[in-house]
Structure 1
């Protein structure tokens, strides 16, 4: 999961050397892509609990069916999202963003939007592999993709070794090529490993079962909405920051990229929770399911406390990674961006804990195949609590950028509390139903 964000991290650092307008343009372009990507990644997570449950029950045929149908649906979704982004492009001119930033963002957006197609196809393979507890192969694919992305960035952004100097369009091309390579690599691995052959051989894509399609859609659609509601509020923060100016938007992008990287660690633990809970659900061992889930919640809490401490201690240094601090021509802009980003990282330090816990608990709920109530919880938390606070504090008070992030903190904290309540209620109910009225002391 960190590998996905590291692509953006590399793009931001290398584009940041060109100037704050270019960094803001990448931020604006990616804001559209992140919304679409959230729908695709969220939908693909439906594959993991189905494969994990089938694996726990020893039913390879059900796991193969989940992969085949998931792959078809994810491919269709990838092309659909690419088309929607192209249709939504004119909206950029009506969002009160700096014109200089908009004109830089549009050609970048065309290419990065296309990269969604291979990314979401890759997600189908990734979620399947993780459902079998084989998480290292998708990791290898993302490592290779990042090496390719950074290499192409260096060659195409700056025009090194005789390559054309393409600026942020070069970064977009690097992202597209690296994501195509990810798909080719993961498919090659799955075809070559003996352990995957019962699942990936002899696909008949012309024969699709309505029952399996309906099951994936019923899990995937609410899951995609859950991720959409969260990513959309962060995208809203990008657009609100753009109203405040290009420097506020560039600072928001720095803080958002750093907090996204720590979030992806929580996202990885969320996958672990989804897989382990799905396994235990297949075995109908709900007491053990609860014990494992709470162990992962506690591990997440400890890690997020460490991340929060690093954000507090290094909040003035982290932003300097993204900018050329020795650039005299942009010195005033860079200084302002660093100062704003440091304030945002102060708030981000506190929401690390809420953000990590909510995504891991959400993963555990997906492992239980409970997706509808959590979808309502995420909508209420982010759009009835978080966004109104961000909007008011950001645009109508002296808090400005910091106020936008205080709203994010409020939404994430409410989500973490309500999702925990839901998981606690459900697991106690399952234990009482399947294992007797009393909850064992080990899982109390």
Structure 2
């Protein structure tokens, strides 16, 4: 192959990755904007309501992300099947059905756990009044988790068929409806009662249900998807495939769970430092989370692109798909880091205004946190796309160990050291987060670089 031909293949792979990734990025942004919209609206109600909402949302997210991790297993499984044979209808259908079974099996214990949200927050020594108020948000919100899992499985299905735009269209509509509905339910507009935190949770559940129902209608009606008959014979057991979903999905769930829970642990640490730090962290983490949707979406696209090549047993294609996605991710993360460094107050101002001295203090803290967040954008992107690359070749167990070491040993340990022993407060917590992400990124990219020597492909 000539150098010109090789460059042509790389350009083609970059274009294919971007074509698949940008709808997934937008879809992830749409999903993230639902709780972010809640945070914005709760911020309008005041710092105390925002702080209680932050506790509730982060507890909910810890459980939700774990479940989404199990659902993500459907993506590499379907990509591999389609790489082996482009019209592998039966294998794809089996994976979708058993992923939905896994969703039902998982959500029941999660509901039981979140019903006791107040008690869980008290175990983490959070303010009793804030814990009580947070439970008013969590209880209605938790019932939207099952439709969210259904939406995630169906999103993986349309993405594996390289038609992710439908997931974005449905998600965008849900964001719009969520903003209107929650505005009405939180503050009592359009003839609805003012339900405060409870209204925010109820609105999010309705929005998640709209997303699941909307995408279900698409996959049963659209001619590209309906030939798979995804919901036919839904109650027919397929235990080997069900266990395969769990074998591949459980390590993904633990990996994502450890990443999210280290950020949730940061929320609890902020609660120990003070209420202003907790409110500022709620704003800063929402901004960082929205930025994370870019590498997350590219990572999901990478899983599909790598998985298709993996199913074809195309080692060159696997390499090209992985490194092309890595280059694209780094370019985007440099731009996002620059935005955080150059315009932090503009970003924070989208969530909270300095109308009082207390608000101004929260804004200043959030700006300081964003400065650190800008510095870890590159490593955050690297670990996200690195995980996606490894998932494409069905390597999920060892990355789970890397996540445990990076996030909880290095990250949490550094946060405790800098925040409390060195007296850096909230900024010290964010330095710990950066250290954990950097460790995970280095370990995952090293494993990807040695994938052939390790016999992964």
- 1:97 positional shift: 2.1
Give 2:67's aligned residue: 40
Describe the superposition over 1:250-286 as per-residue Cα deviations: whole angstroms up to 9, x where unpaired: 1011110000001111110011100000000111111
- 1:193 positional shift: 0.9
Describe the superposition over 1:85-108 as per-residue Cα deviations: whole angstroms up to 9, x where unpaired: 124541222333233322321111
Partners of 1:117 and 1:201 in 2: CA distance: 17
- 1:184 positional shift: 0.6
**Conserved? CA contact 2:263–2:433, under 8 Å:** yes
Question: Using a 3 Å threshold, how does the CA distance of structure 1 residues 343 and 193 change in structure 2: closer, same or farther?
Answer: same
Give 1:95's aligned residue: 124
Within the alignment, does 1:388 sit opposite 2:413 as a pair?
A: yes
Question: Using a 3 Å threshold, how does the CA distance of structure 1 residues 5 and 277 change in structure 2: closer, same or farther?
Answer: same
Partners of 1:161 and 1:206 in 2: CA distance: 41
Within the alignment, does 1:258 sit opposite 2:283 as a pair?
A: no
- 1:399 positional shift: 0.8
- 1:47 positional shift: 0.2
Cα RMSD (Å) of the superposition?
1.5
- 1:9 positional shift: 1.6
- 1:128 positional shift: 1.8
Give 1:245's aligned residue: 274
**Conserved? CA contact 1:51–1:66, under 8 Å:** yes
Moved over 3 A (4+): 427-431
Q: How many residues align?
A: 428
- 1:119 positional shift: 1.0
Give 1:139's aligned residue: 168
Question: Using a 3 Å threshold, how does the CA distance of structure 1 residues 301 and 202 change in structure 2: closer, same or farther?
Answer: closer
- Greater Cα shift, 254-263 or 48-57: 48-57
Superposed, 1:106-121 pairs within 5 Å as 106-121=135-150
Within the alignment, does 1:181 sit opposite 2:210 as a pair?
A: yes
Structure 2: runs of 5+ lacking an equivalent = 1-27
Partners of 1:334 and 1:256 in 2: CA distance: 17
Give 1:369's aligned residue: 394
Give 1:421's aligned residue: 446
**Conserved? CA contact 1:78–1:121, under 8 Å:** no
**Conserved? CA contact 1:290–1:427, under 8 Å:** no
- Greater Cα shift, 306-315 or 86-95: 86-95
Question: Using a 3 Å threshold, how does the CA distance of structure 1 residues 84 and 365 change in structure 2: closer, same or farther?
Answer: same
Give 1:301's aligned residue: 330
Within the alignment, does 1:127 sit opposite 2:156 as a pair?
A: yes
Give 2:340's aligned residue: 311
Question: Using a 3 Å threshold, how does the CA distance of structure 1 residues 116 and 201 change in structure 2: closer, same or farther?
Answer: closer
**Conserved? CA contact 2:353–2:363, under 8 Å:** no
Find the partner of 1:219 among 233, 248, 266.
248
- 1:30 positional shift: 1.1
Partners of 2:173 and 2:190 in 1: CA distance: 22
Find the partner of 1:18 among 38, 42, 45.
45
**Conserved? CA contact 1:27–1:250, under 8 Å:** yes
Give 1:436's aligned residue: none
Give 1:441's aligned residue: none
